[in-house]
Structure 1
């Protein structure tokens, strides 16, 4: 009891030193706790984003860049073609789990209206195809452009003589068609007077119905929407355009599902996505957003790491200097205690506990202040910065040209995670703060015990006779 009384009397009597060390611990602890809690929450955000990261990559023509190149006269026909070569690279990639291709062309059938339109404006009029044929090559809703149910038959590519066609239930009922019926496919379009013969004999191999959750433009066009295979669409495009195939005559879009979303960059490098050949092709994935968020969090974490390191070194140096000067002034007290038979161990423990008690009180105040006031404010500031950066990124990558009412945006490669720092739970705050407390206790131990040992190792006579 006398030992503890002596400690508390020393703390009270050395008011100036106690106030300086207490204030120092208060400031350092507050900033360290705030930095650590914020850093933990940032890592939690990054972890949640990584969990939400999907494995989809879309490769599509960037029509905005194509239009800009067209207007500037810089459009080159040998670039940006999403062709068979690219599809083969994707098909043979070890990173790819599955993929689907989108492409479309318009056509007539024997049931189509071939009446020329706009004769008053265009000599001979314009013939507008009444149907559209699209690729459907994946049953995975994340990869397929359309979500449909095949009611009867299937989309088969077994025969080379006839083009396999999947027609809608509405079209089949309207024209009294069933699986196995032939369908005359005419891919002519444009001016009636310039019409060329581009016809193929197709066969209905299946009947489908679009799911109700398809976008409005798809549902509205369901009756006139056919599906066929990739090879059929490729052949049709070659028939229509011959050797002078324009950019838009290739595939419109390729959607890829990777085995591991973290391999996205390796996959794009394998495709040589940064090559000049693909100047007007957009490679989109949620990994791009993840990398942006990761970069922002890494920047914040680096700043917080620097602050923590600086504060720890500052505490080590300043507390060490304060204790060194304080113990110099208390040599006479140490010498007297030794002369009165006090053990060296108790004297050293007294010096340590005097500072340690101040640390405990200051740290308790800092913990309450940080968790209740400062850490939430710091999180709010960081959230504002992150949301601002994400908004700028969204505006930068967003459409610069107006979209028509039939435009359907593909949001499958967008992250849906809430990128914001939340308040740390009390339990996690205690755990994180405990580590910091042990660190500061260690600094206290080093800066008090080492100088004290240097003094008490001498005899009482040496200490009291030393005039330093």
Structure 2
């Protein structure tokens, strides 16, 4: 009688022990499979979050560092200008498909009536003082809220976020392109153009914020925007209807001598959101001074979105380790008790000349057969168990994150926008996870299950089979 046939007969005879082993194996395989499936789903969710946030990386001033330094030293540090040559060299990276310069400053209308401006308040009312930001002297310039407006300098207008997301669109004329460098041209919003009876081809005069410079620009395009001010009933200066777009190089002609209010940013549009980390690594090798500048790929929002996902990924990895170790120990104990109960059988077989390796092989066949049955069952139950575990862990993490969230922030992330302005952005954490089982998951789970089966069988069997038949039979008495 060969050892394989004996193994099959033994499993039938000891049906209770076989069922217990199969139940333990089924629990282990389901939990391990769930752990691998959740890790894969977490990675897919993280990739999806990256794609949702887009494949753009912004190079600009690191205002958090600057504010921290200012608090420590008591004065705003003098920031060097962004190395444009280095920024353009970085734009030639294999990961970049296009790029855009964005900078902002304040202009003063010269003969224009701004949308929302109060009657008879062209120059005196609604004034405010604003101090210079990093790079300036720290002196303040006086701002007339009724005659001042924002000007945004760009390399390509259609790459600006408002035009990309469809909130703004050109309705007459043409947009600003990279070929218009240093040209005195501008885009004007439809409401401002209608209020001042301006059409494409007309020229308007704009003064710098300190009124020391005047620039005449040609309106080459009229755009319409659905953007809303960050506050209700904003003053003209903050009304999106009063924003002009110019080539970024032209805007430099309007920078105030005191309290420089502009800070250039470069937005790199990558071929794939998954290239972001590689692009950042490449950028660190450039001569750009990252003591003052930073590359931001919506990192704060990304962390906000995938925070719960990362937590359940680490939890699922811990589950794999704990279940694998605990499963091996439990199975080892059960198999050890089973083998000890079969000392007489082993002693007799060894006495009649059966080889020890065949007895080892018999035990191995028994356990592997049971493991295979449990593995087959887990194919039917694994997906549902994995999804249940994933949903439970994720809902728990989201609930914990909600409790820890600062009510004053309400999930908001403040990011620096063009010209160093603060923009309030929010993104909800990922609250759904699609757990699916792949062939790779099954392969890894099968490998772990087989390793557990072999270890759980070999160690107890060796502890007994190292004895000779007489010793085994005497221990059984």
Q: TM-score range by the shorter chain?
A: 0.5 to 0.7
Matches for 1:408-419 after TM superposition, within 5 Å: 409-410=424-425, 418=430
Local SS of the residue matching 1:76: coil
- When Rg is computed on C-alpha atoms for both structures, the one with the higher figure is 1
**Alignment equivalent of 1:117, drawn from 119, 124, 128:** 124
Deviation, 1:428, is 9.9
Partner of 1:106: 107
In 1, the alpha carbon distance for the partners of 2:229 and 2:182 equals 35
Q: Quote the residue 2:418 is aligned against.
A: none
Distance 1:10 1:135 in 2: 82
Deviations 1:319-349 (A, max 9, x none): 664465344332354268x59xx99999877
What CA distance in whole angstroms lies between the structure 1 residues aligned with 2:336 and 2:288?
A: 58
Preserved contact between residue 38 and residue 386 of structure 2 (Cα < 8 Å): no
Whole-Å separation in 1 of the counterparts to 2:184 and 2:161: 27
Q: Which residue does 1:192 correspond to in 2?
A: none
User: How many angstroms does 1:173 deviate by?
Assistant: 4.0
1:39, 1:301 within 8 Å by CA — same for their partners in 2? yes
Matched position secondary structure for 2:28 = helix
Distance in 2 of aligned mates of 1:127 and 1:347? 92
Structure 1: unaligned runs, 5 residues or longer: 190-195
The range that moved more, 104-113 or 154-163, is 154-163
Instruction: Confirm whether residue 250 of structure 1 aligns to residue 288 of structure 2.
Output: no
User: 1:117/1:325 Cα in 2 relative to 1: closer, same or farther (>3 Å)?
Assistant: same
* Distance in 1 between residues matched to 2:471 and 2:126, nearest whole Å: 118
**2:184 is equivalent to residue 163 of structure 1:** yes
Q: Which residue of 2 aligns with 1:58?
A: 58
Q: Is the 8 A contact 1:30 1:370 kept in 2?
A: no
Conserved? CA contact 1:116–1:125, under 8 Å: no
* TM-score for the superposition, normalised by structure 1: 0.66
Please tell me whether the aligned partners of residues 22 and 362 of structure 1 are also in contact (alpha carbons under 8 angstroms).
no
Aligned-pair RMSD on alpha carbons? 5.5
Equivalent position SS for 2:284: helix
Check conservation: 1:327, 1:452, Cα contact below 8 A: no
Pair 103,151 (structure 1): closer, same or farther in 2 beyond 3 Å: same
Contact 1:182/1:203 (8 A) holds in 2? yes
- The alpha-carbon deviation at position 46 of structure 1 amounts to 0.9
The 2-side partners of 1:156 and 1:13 are apart by 83
**Does the C-alpha gap of structure 1 residues 181 and 254 become closer, same or farther in structure 2, counting only changes over 3 Å?**
same
Q: Is the 8 A contact 2:308 2:397 kept in 1?
A: no
2:393 to 372, 381, 393: 381
139-148 vs 28-37, greater mean Cα deviation:
139-148
Residue 446 to residue 216, structure 1, CA distance change in 2 (3 Å): same
**Which whole-Å CA distance do the structure 2 matches of 1:104 and 1:120 have between them?**
17
1:195-225 residue CA offsets vs partner (Å, 9 max, x unmatched): x542223233x1222244x445699945533
Quick one: distance in 2 between partners of 1:157 and 1:44?
41
- Structure 2 CA distance for partners of 1:296 and 1:372, relative to 1, 3 Å: closer
**CA deviation vs aligned residue, 1:252-303 (integer Å, no higher than 9, x gap):** x44332342232431553468884434xx78342495388678646633542
Q: Are 1:304 and 2:319 matched, yes or no?
A: yes
Structure 1 distance, partners of 2:204, 2:297, is 37
Contact 2:206 / 2:215 at 8 angstroms: preserved in 1? Answer: yes
Q: Is the 8 A contact 2:32 2:323 kept in 1?
A: yes
Aligned length, in residue pairs: 430
2:208 is the counterpart of 1:187:
yes
The change in CA–CA distance for 1:264 and 1:330 in structure 2 (over 3 A counts) is same
- Indicate which of 17, 35, 40 corresponds to 2:37: 40
Deviation of 1:228 after TM superposition, in Å, equals: 0.9
Q: TM-score, normalised by structure 2?
A: 0.65
Give 1:209's aligned residue.
Answer: 223
- Give the deviation of 1:129 after TM superposition: 1.8
Q: Is the 8 A contact 2:193 2:222 kept in 1?
A: no
CA distance in 2, matches of 1:347, 1:136: 79
Match in the other structure for 1:140: 159
Q: Which has the higher strand share?
A: 2
* Change beyond 3 A, Cα 1:210–1:61: farther
Residue 177 of structure 1: SS of its match in structure 2? coil
Q: Is the 8 A contact 1:27 1:366 kept in 2?
A: no
Q: Helix, strand or coil: the match of 1:250?
A: coil
Whether 1:27 aligns to 2:24 is yes
Matched residue, 2:345: 330
| In structure 1, distance between residues paired with 2:466 and 2:27 | 32
* Equivalent position of 2:116 in the other structure: none
Uncovered stretches (5+) of structure 2, i.e. residues with no partner: 114-119, 130-141, 416-420
> What's the CA shift string for 1:421-448, capped at 9, x where partnerless?
4555799998876666555555577579
Distance 1:161 1:377 in 2: 59
- Worse-superposed segment, 22-31 or 446-455: 446-455
- Which residue of 228, 239, 253 corresponds with 1:235? 253
Aligned to 1:283: 296
CA gap 1:59/1:294 in 2 versus in 1, 3 angstroms: farther
Is it true that 1:129 corresponds to 2:141 in the alignment? no
Structure 1 position 400, deviation (Å): 7.9
